[in-house]
Structure 1
Amino acid sequence: MMIEYVRYQSLAPDEHGRFKGVFGLVNNLGRAGALTAEQEEFRRVNNAWYDAAYTDPSTVDATVYDPAVNPGAAAWFKPSATHLFERIDGYLEILAAHGVAVRQVRSVDPGRVVYEDDVQIVVVPHAG
């Protein structure tokens, strides 16, 4: 049985050629002061919930997102992480309100796995 991993990311790459994930995109808006008070409250509360619900891979391996070691590394949800999908819509609504386009990407082989736990993988994408 093939596992299909899921990621929500920007439509266009950033200045480094990476497709930012949904959390990074909303956090960038928050750091820029672009969110309404309600949106900022959602971001704060839900980021704290996600921080409590799953491991930040960089706390296990500081090099996991290091561009010299793992260029383009990106996190993907495992399909079994349904409890983590429940709050994604709120992030997508914030991005839509700010005109930030995102898409859901699915893949059975998104890249070389450099980190894995029970709810996610971090991969270096395949070349090409």
Structure 2
Amino acid sequence: MSIEYVRFQSTMSDERGQFKGVFGLVNNLARNGRLTAEQDRFRSENNAWYDAAYTDPSTVDPSVYDPAVNPGATAWFKPSASHLIERVAGYLEILSAHDVDCHAVKSTDPGHVIYEDDVQVVVLPHTR
């Protein structure tokens, strides 16, 4: 049986042709000063919760998101990460309030796995 991974990402690619993930999208809004105080509080508290709840792959392998080493690397949740996926709704609400489109993408084969733990994989997307 295949595992179906899920990723929450922008519906439009950036200047490098990549689709930014939900956390990056909200963090960009914060960096640009576009969040309300309540939205920024949610982001800060939940980012801290995520940092405590699961491993940041770059702390295990600093090159995992290095664009020179792993161009286009993206993180995907495993189905076992339901406790992590549940909190994404608040991030999606923030994006919606700022008219930033973000959707869930599901795949049984999102790419070549370069990092894996119990709740996520980081992959290099398949070339077309």
- What TM bracket, shorter-length normalisation? over 0.9
Q: Which residue of 1 aligns with 2:17?
A: 17
1:127 equivalenced with 2:113 (yes/no): no
Distance 1:82 1:14 in 2: 28
Q: CA deviation at 1:4?
A: 0.2
- Equivalent residue letter for 2:45: V
Q: Considering only aligned residues, what root-mean-square deviation do their CA atoms show, in Å?
A: 0.5
The superposition leaves residues 11-66 of structure 1 with CA deviations (integer Å, 9 ceiling, x where unpaired) of: 11111111000000000000111000000000000000000000000010011011
The residue type paired with residue 58 of structure 1 is: S
Query: 1:101 aligns to what?
Result: 101
Equivalent AA in structure 1 for residue 61 of structure 2? D
- Mapping for residues 52-67 of structure 1, pairs under 5 Å: 52-67=52-67
Distance in 1, Cα, partners of 2:103 & 2:93: 12
Cα offset, 1:67, TM superposition: 1.2
Worse overlay, 92-101 or 12-21? 12-21
What is the CA–CA distance in structure 2 between the aligned matches of 1:108 and 1:45, rounded to whole Å?
31
Count residues with an aligned counterpart: 128
C-alpha distance in 2 between matches for 1:26 and 1:95: 7
Structure 1, unaligned runs of 5 or more: none
Supply the AA of the counterpart residue of 1:71: P
Q: Secondary structure at the match of 2:80?
A: coil
The structure 1 segments of at least 4 consecutive aligned residues displaced by more than 4 Å after TM superposition are none
Q: Which consecutive residues of structure 2, in runs of 5 or more, have no partner in the other structure?
A: none
Any idea what SS the aligned residue of 1:84 has? Answer: helix
Normalising by structure 1, we get a TM-score of 0.98
Cα distance per residue 1:40-99 (max 9 Å; x no partner): 000000000000000000010011011121110000000111110111110000000000
Question: What TM-score do you get using the length of structure 2 for normalisation?
Answer: 0.98
Q: Secondary structure at the match of 1:80?
A: helix
SS in 2 for 1:65: coil
For 1:117, the aligned partner's letter is D
Partner amino acid, structure 2, of 1:62: P
